[in-house]
């Protein structure tokens, strides 16, 4: 009995780029999220805008947008896409129950009208934005932790709608 198949592996087991030429161009949206956990003092420094390297949140937003646009250069089998929207939101984690581990939540929304989805672009945007936050704060806190990077939602295309946490 055959189970699900990896789309980027051919019948001989070699990596391949998926042929999307027969797919319809439809609107596709992906939302990804990640977080950078740091001390309260570092978070306060970031939110005040007084970090040594400058505007941490602004730099991270720009880095995330640039990363989404360059995903095909970074992930070997991704298609280059004419992305129509990239939005990066960065905010303190309002749901953090453990006040001893404050964090910034980074959320990327990426949109395209095309033949393949933008999940990788959203995940890459979040990853690079989180790395940029780390780079901007490492002078005061090298122990910051990047984590929780995941796809939150995907809409459009043949596989339909996906939302994290739904069966």
36: phi then psi, degrees, rounded to nearest 5: -120, 115
> Which position among 19, 22, 44, 135 bears the catalytic label?
135
Enter the DSSP assignment of 115.
S
Q: Apex CA 24: angle with CA 150 and CA 151, to 5°? A: 5
Residue 47: count of CB within 10 angstroms of its CB: 15
Q: Is 98 a catalytic residue?
A: no
Give the three-state DSSP class for 149. strand
25: phi then psi, degrees, rounded to nearest 5: -80, 115
Residues known to be catalytic: 135
């Amino acid at each position: 009995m055959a189970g699900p198949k990896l789309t980027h592996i051919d019948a001989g087991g070699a990596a391949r780029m998926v042929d999307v030429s027969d797919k319809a161009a439809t609107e596709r949206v992906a939302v990804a999220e990640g977080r950078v956990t740091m001390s309260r003092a570092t978070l306060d420094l970031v939110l005040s805008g007084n970090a040594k390297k400058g505007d941490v949140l602004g730099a991270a937003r720009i880095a995330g947008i640039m990363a989404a646009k360059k995903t095909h250069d970074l992930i070997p089998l991704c298609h280059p896409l004419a992305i129509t929207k990239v939005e990066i939101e960065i905010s303190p984690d309002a749901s953090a129950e453990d006040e001893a581990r404050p964090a910034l939540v980074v959320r990327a929304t990426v949109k395209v009208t095309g033949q393949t989805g933008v999940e990788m672009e959203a995940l890459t945007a979040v990853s690079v934005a989180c790395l940029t936050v780390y780079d901007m704060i490492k002078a005061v806190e090298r122990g910051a932790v990047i984590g929780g990077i995941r796809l939150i939602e995907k809409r459009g295309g043949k596989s339909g709608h996906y939302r994290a946490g739904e069966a």
